[in-house]
Amino acid sequence: MSDQTLFSPLKLGALDLPHRVLMAPLTRNRAHPDGTPADLAVEYYRQRASAGLIITEATQISAEGKGYINTPGIHGDAHVKAWKKITDAVHEAGGRIALQLWHVGRISHTSLLPNGESPVAPSAIRADSQTFTENGPTDVSEPRALALSEIPRLIEEYRKAAERAKEAGFDMVEVHAANGYLLDQFIQDKTNTRDDAYGGSAENRVRLMKEVVEAVAEVWGADRVGVRLSPLGQFNDMGDSDPEATFTAAYKALNGLGLAYLHVVEKFPGSQPTSEEGAILDRLRTHWTGTYIANGDFDAETANAWIKKGRADGITFGRPFISNPDLPERFKRGAPLTEPDQSTFYGGDHHGYTDYPSLEEAA
């Protein structure tokens, strides 16, 4: 690359990053059935330590928050021990790593939950979506609406998970409020038909997200907490009657908290925002005055251009990091990228996980 703006340092809350090529959260379904990260994950994350920041795969805050087979947790002692091996390896390799805190809400199946319980959601509306169980792709189960009296318990589970993440040696945490999972389900009116303090107006619907973030920030300090949103995402049967108004409320609710960053999915792989959708995202951007991280099928040149014009401060890359463990160096040199094998994205062994070579190894 002739213009190296992408490789200028970035102050991300309490962290000083050497550059702005960040690793996006990537579900890989290689944890043990009880949610303990497998030993192979130590090498996987260590290989990618040259990222400005690694944001881990989504990690469930509780047994109730699980929605897919073989995804990791952060709600048990074994989880903390296993994650500590990973954070130690990343730090030894000179990297920085954040844990993404996750509750799937209605995107789950009774077979994945304790005692065959129903998934929970803001409202008892079943998603037109599937998840992965031991039997393969399976329609999600009908959820039950969380009672108002259960909300404090849920917030406390986020707080406890944040404490465990600290024990496990992470540098910061990211609250997952995107992609049709629980907090996003509360935010958008297609999935939230409540008539209490957590439903109705946009300000009410973003309330749970804000209270969760505040609880996590009490543990970590706001300058070590980020939040991920997907304002126009329809993944997992999502939608809102007025996404601009809804997410304006979300951005404003977060903007005064002193957070490390806001991480926004601008587009999904294989899709291109319309001109009006792009305009909405641009207008939403004006409601956030802190550090802004963009995600969405970027390459090095477009990432550099966005940062140069101030539209974003950093960019997260997903699939390119799967098959290019040394992605920042490849971008810097203008080296060719290895294409990922999509058949190995979810589940399996080291194939398509830790066997992609770096430039040095390929030479």
Question: Which of the residues are catalytic?
Answer: 181
The partner residues of 121 in beta bridges, in order of sequence, read 145
Question: 292: which DSSP letter?
Answer: E
Residue whose tokens read 């539209």: 311
Whole-angstrom Cα distance, residue 355 to residue 345? 13
Residue 293, classed as helix, strand or coil, is strand
**Over the range 169-191, which residues count as b (16 or more CB within 10 Å of their CB) and which as e?**
bbbbbbbbbbbbbbbbbbbbbbb
Residue whose tokens read 């009774």: 110
Joined tokens for residue 289: 């005055």
Whole-angstrom Cα distance, residue 191 to residue 70? 26
Burial status of residue 4 (CB atoms within 10 A of its CB: 0-12, 13-18, 19 or more): exposed
Q: Which residues contact 301 (CB under 8 A, 6 or more apart)?
A: 1
